[in-house]
Amino acid sequence: SPLVGILSLQGDVREHENVLQGLGAETLRVRRAEELAQVQGLVIPGGESTVIDKLSRQFGLQQPLRDAIAAGLPVYGTCAGLILLADTVIDGIEGQQSFGGMDIDVRRNAFGRQTESFEADLAVPVLGDEPVHATFIRAPIVERVGAGVEVLSALPDGAIVAVQQGNLLGTSFHPEVGGDSRFHAHFLARVRASVRSAA
Ligand code: GLN
């Protein structure tokens, strides 16, 4: 089974570990470039993108992560993780950087104060007919997608909340807290395919 890293600088690392291990993957907490070099896929958890960004630079992980993404490492970002995969972040704090890789513009904290968190049943055709029960917590919205980006799900008002581009997958919400493992299974299939094609 593939070794899947979880970027463990800040955020809901444990929840991702539980889901991935439940699906039969081995996991490794990634805080250093040496650990990143060992994994065949990486999850960037939800948490606070500004903190993960700063810590990744302090830990010397930003450039290795950008290089790994450019080399085709499968990466799945949830919420803060999606923000970190976006080429452009709107409403970031001053000096906020992302790893990038996805040709998207993402707005942080896009739902405003009235709706800091909410749940919704989302249609996600690529995962089958059953909707995904999604938990949104101070969530971002994808405001622009480039030509190479596939929209996997949007809210009824059109707000894009799940996207995929090549080996990169991102969701505004947290499937890891909702008990639905289909997004992680979808990601693991991508990790396994990329391991096979490299062999
Ligand atoms: N608002 C957070 C950020 O900007 C994301 C929240 C989350 O990951 N649940 O990073």
Residue 141: predicted pLDDT: 98
CA gap 37, 124 in Å, rounded: 32
- Report the distance separating Cα 156 and Cα 65, nearest Å: 34
- Structure confidence at residue 199 (pLDDT): 73
Quote the ipTM score.
0.95
Count of beta carbons in the 10 Å neighbourhood of residue 98: 23
Give 155-197 pLDDT, tens digit per residue.
999 999 999 999 999 999 999 997 899 999 999 999 999 999 8
User: CA torsion 68→70→74→79, rounded to 10°?
Assistant: 90
What average pLDDT is seen over the chain?
96
Helix (H, G, I), strand (E, B) or coil at 9: coil
113 or 43: which leads in pLDDT: 43
Catalytic residues: 79, 174, 176
Domain tally, the chain: 1
Q: What does the pLDDT average to over 73-99?
A: 98
d(CA 122, CA 133): 6
Question: Coil, strand, or helix at residue 175?
Answer: helix
Are 104 and 89 within 8 A, CB to CB?
no
Q: Which of 12, 84, 98, 108 to mutate to test the pocket of ligand 1 (most atoms within 8 A of CB)?
A: 108
For the domain that residue 187 is a member of, what is the CATH number? 3.40.50.880
Which residue ranges have their beta carbon within 6 Å of ligand 1? 46-49, 79-80, 83, 108-109, 137-138
Q: What is the whole-number distance in angstroms between the Cα of residue 46 and the centre of ligand 1?
A: 6
Cβ atoms of 163 and 150 closer than 8 Å = yes
Q: What is the pLDDT of residues 101-136, one digit of tens each?
A: 999 999 999 998 666 899 999 999 999 999 999 999
Integer angstrom CA distances of residue 31 from 17, 22, 47, 58 = 15, 22, 15, 11
Query: Which pLDDT score is estimated for 114?
Result: 60
Range of the domain at 7: 3-198
Mean pLDDT of 16-35: 97
Alpha helix stretches (DSSP H) within the chain: 13-22, 33-36, 49-58, 62-70, 80-85, 175-178, 182-198
How far is the centre of ligand 1, averaged over its atoms, from the C-alpha of 174 (Å)?
Answer: 10
Q: Which of 109, 113, 115, 171 to mutate to test the pocket of ligand 1 (most atoms within 8 A of CB)?
A: 109
